[in-house]
Structure 1
Amino acid sequence: MTSTAGVPPVSTDDTTAAKPRGRKLTGYWLILPGAVWLLLFFVIPFYSLVASSLFDPKGSVLTGYEMTWHVGNYVDAFNQYKGQLGRSLLYAGLATLTCLVVGYVLAYAIAFKAGRWKNLMLVLVIAPFFTSFLLRTLSWKLILADDGWVVGVAQAIHLTDVLNIIGLTTTDDRLLATPFAVIAGLTYNFLPFMVLPLYASLEKVDIRLIEAAGDLYASPMRGFFKVTFPLSLPGVVAGTLLTFIPAAGDYVNAQLLGSTNTKMIGNSIQSLFTTQGDYATAGALSVILMVIIVAAVMAYVRTAGTEELV
């Protein structure tokens, strides 16, 4: 037998301590690009926005602004532009609801009925993204023109009368420069943001569960609301968020398709920043809109209760 007495044991403390330390540093290096990106394009702009909302309201672009922590800017901005703020949330909500109804039917057809045409239909859904957002919106001015066939058909079937009763058009049977035109533009431009999450969610639904509902004598409608729709809720929540959030802050559709009576909060913010040079009010409006949307999103996600999003 070989004796090991007197041989000092080899210490592995240094090597075992070095590995965890190296792994921790590797993790920090991996998240560094993302952290720098968030710092440059989120934290710093957000700080600048909040700072501008607290400027002295008596300042101007010519005389300059001073940081006076004037919290009253928020109260003044809300009281002055609460009409545009409420209109923005209403238009965004109606556009989101319309996108949900139309987008769900389209996503359901692609997921369960398209067959070998599925990929082609998905390409057609995202095809508008290959065209400028501005050009897509301008095209609706031609579609809803007063002498166009769309207005003619709407007048013939008295659709304009119905829209006028519910306040979406004016009394002269026009579709352009009305709330209907703005909501139609928002719906068209943001519809793909609703369809794609819905399709991704419906694609994961096991068709055997729907067949089992039929085997248990559930009608197609009852099987849809008891099986298909609950399983697609993550897509519904994601789609509505991706549609409502940008629609609430949009100003292009209201600028090109609406009138002075359909201005949204995005139009006011854009005008205050670029034309009037009222940075204090513009910053306050931006923060107010952001807080409202964040609060609404948190309440909505909590109410929806989907585990994949909470």
Structure 2
Amino acid sequence: MKRFQQLAWPYIVWAVMMLVLPMALIALYSVMNQGNSIISFSFTLEHYAKFFTDPDFLLILWRSILIAVKTTVLCLLLGYPIAYYIARSTEKVQNILILCITLPMWINMLVRTYAWIGLLSNGGIFQKILGFFGLGNVELLYTEGAVLLGMVYNFLPFMILQIQTSLSKMDYSLIEASADLGASPAQTFRRITLPLSMPGVINGITLVFLPAVSSFFIPKLLGGGQYFLIGNMIENQFITVGEWNFGSAVSMIMAIIMMLLMMAVRKVEQHNQGGKGV
């Protein structure tokens, strides 16, 4: 056993160098004054105070959480029926459908988002369809709807695959027994299918919400810079403004929010595994 434990050391070293050290530097920069060096360290919380006392920054945070919630809800509403259909199909059909869902993910997310610019811009296919119905003047690109569409498109597969995995592990004899006992399809879904699929639902919500709340290039490309989210704000502080200290503080705030959300999700998952969900 000790011999196999030694195989984990390369991963531990890699994790420390690529994950722990960068986060430690960001945390250090977030409590340093502008222009300080690590050698002459001066502790301050003014960057955190600046974020929480400025209503514009809080508005951006609220807008980011709201768009992430909308994305998660839409992915759940669209993804659950698709995942259920895939799980109830034959093994051969399941493999084909899963391939169809994962195939676009083989292309870089940035490239896929760029493709939506051509589809939604003036002269694009969606604009032509609206023009056929006399709605050619409706602006599709650089709107909240375009940002939401791009996020749902990019993150929907994560929701589908997680729910499909849970549904595939479900014992479908329970559904047959429920029907034999006189339960309606709605009752069967509420009492059996939904509780047994909750681990996949929770994992799907986590995998969709966390990247959606911190996404920066989707709102930048499809929002045209007019729909500013917290990810764009962090990018702007590091690259454009050059205020690494304040950008690090905002990054740490988002990291703490994400960790709290993951802890809450974990609590819900433990509650369901305790047998109260069925």
Q: Which amino acid aligns with 1:73?
A: H
User: Is the counterpart of residue 257 in structure 1 residue 222 in structure 2?
Assistant: yes
Which sits farther off after the overlay, 65-74 or 289-298?
Answer: 65-74
Instruction: Please state whether the residue corresponding to 1:174 is helix, strand or coil.
Output: coil
Alpha-carbon distance in structure 2 between the residues aligned to 1:52 and 1:188? 35
Which sits farther off after the overlay, 26-35 or 122-131?
Answer: 26-35
Counterpart mapping for 1:1-310 below 5 A: 23=1, 25-26=2-3, 28-57=5-34, 59=35, 67-80=41-54, 81-113=57-89, 116-151=92-127, 173-304=138-269, 305-307=271-273
TM-score, scaled to structure 1? 0.80
Contact 1:88 1:248 (C-alpha < 8 Å) held by counterparts:
yes
Against the structure 1 CA distance between its residues 119 and 245, is the aligned structure 2 distance closer, same or farther, given a 3 Å change threshold?
Answer: same
Q: Which residue of 2 aligns with 1:16?
A: none
Contact 2:206 2:265 (C-alpha < 8 Å) held by counterparts:
no
Q: Deviations over 1:84-117 (max 9, x none)?
A: 2111111111111111111111111111035532
Q: Which residue of 2 aligns with 1:18?
A: none
State the aligned residue count.
Answer: 271
Alpha-carbon distance in structure 2 between the residues aligned to 1:192 and 1:102? 10
Against the structure 1 CA distance between its residues 115 and 31, is the aligned structure 2 distance closer, same or farther, given a 3 Å change threshold?
Answer: closer
Contact 1:55 1:69 (C-alpha < 8 Å) held by counterparts:
yes
Alpha-carbon distance in structure 2 between the residues aligned to 1:202 and 1:138? 33
Q: Offset of 1:149 from its aligned partner?
A: 4.5
TM-score, scaled to structure 2? 0.89
Which sits farther off after the overlay, 200-209 or 63-72?
Answer: 63-72
Q: Which amino acid aligns with 1:210?
A: I
Q: Deviations over 1:152-198 (max 9, x none)?
A: 656888999xxxxxxxxxxx732211111111101111111111111
Alpha-carbon distance in structure 1 between the residues aligned to 2:25 and 2:140? 40
Q: Offset of 1:258 from its aligned partner?
A: 0.4
Alpha-carbon distance in structure 2 between the residues aligned to 1:159 and 1:66? 62
Alpha-carbon distance in structure 2 between the residues aligned to 1:183 and 1:105? 20
Alpha-carbon distance in structure 2 between the residues aligned to 1:157 and 1:93? 31
Alpha-carbon distance in structure 1 between the residues aligned to 2:191 and 2:9? 45
Against the structure 1 CA distance between its residues 269 and 66, is the aligned structure 2 distance closer, same or farther, given a 3 Å change threshold?
Answer: farther
Q: Offset of 1:33 from its aligned partner?
A: 2.1
Which sits farther off after the overlay, 137-146 or 196-205?
Answer: 137-146
Against the structure 1 CA distance between its residues 141 and 224, is the aligned structure 2 distance closer, same or farther, given a 3 Å change threshold?
Answer: same
Tell me which structure has the larger Cα radius of gyration.
Answer: 1
Contact 2:110 2:217 (C-alpha < 8 Å) held by counterparts:
yes
Q: Deviations over 1:22-76 (max 9, x none)?
A: x5x435413312221221111111100101111213x28xx99953211121110
Instruction: Please state whether the residue corresponding to 2:170 is helix, strand or coil.
Output: coil
Contact 2:214 2:230 (C-alpha < 8 Å) held by counterparts:
yes
Against the structure 1 CA distance between its residues 109 and 50, is the aligned structure 2 distance closer, same or farther, given a 3 Å change threshold?
Answer: same
Q: Mind listing any 5+ residue stretches in structure 2 that lack a counterpart?
A: none
**CA RMSD after TM alignment:** 2.5
Q: Offset of 1:301 from its aligned partner?
A: 2.8
Q: Offset of 1:235 from its aligned partner?
A: 0.4
Against the structure 1 CA distance between its residues 241 and 154, is the aligned structure 2 distance closer, same or farther, given a 3 Å change threshold?
Answer: farther
Alpha-carbon distance in structure 2 between the residues aligned to 1:116 and 1:38? 38
Q: Which amino acid aligns with 2:61?
A: L
Q: Offset of 1:145 from its aligned partner?
A: 2.1
Contact 2:86 2:164 (C-alpha < 8 Å) held by counterparts:
yes
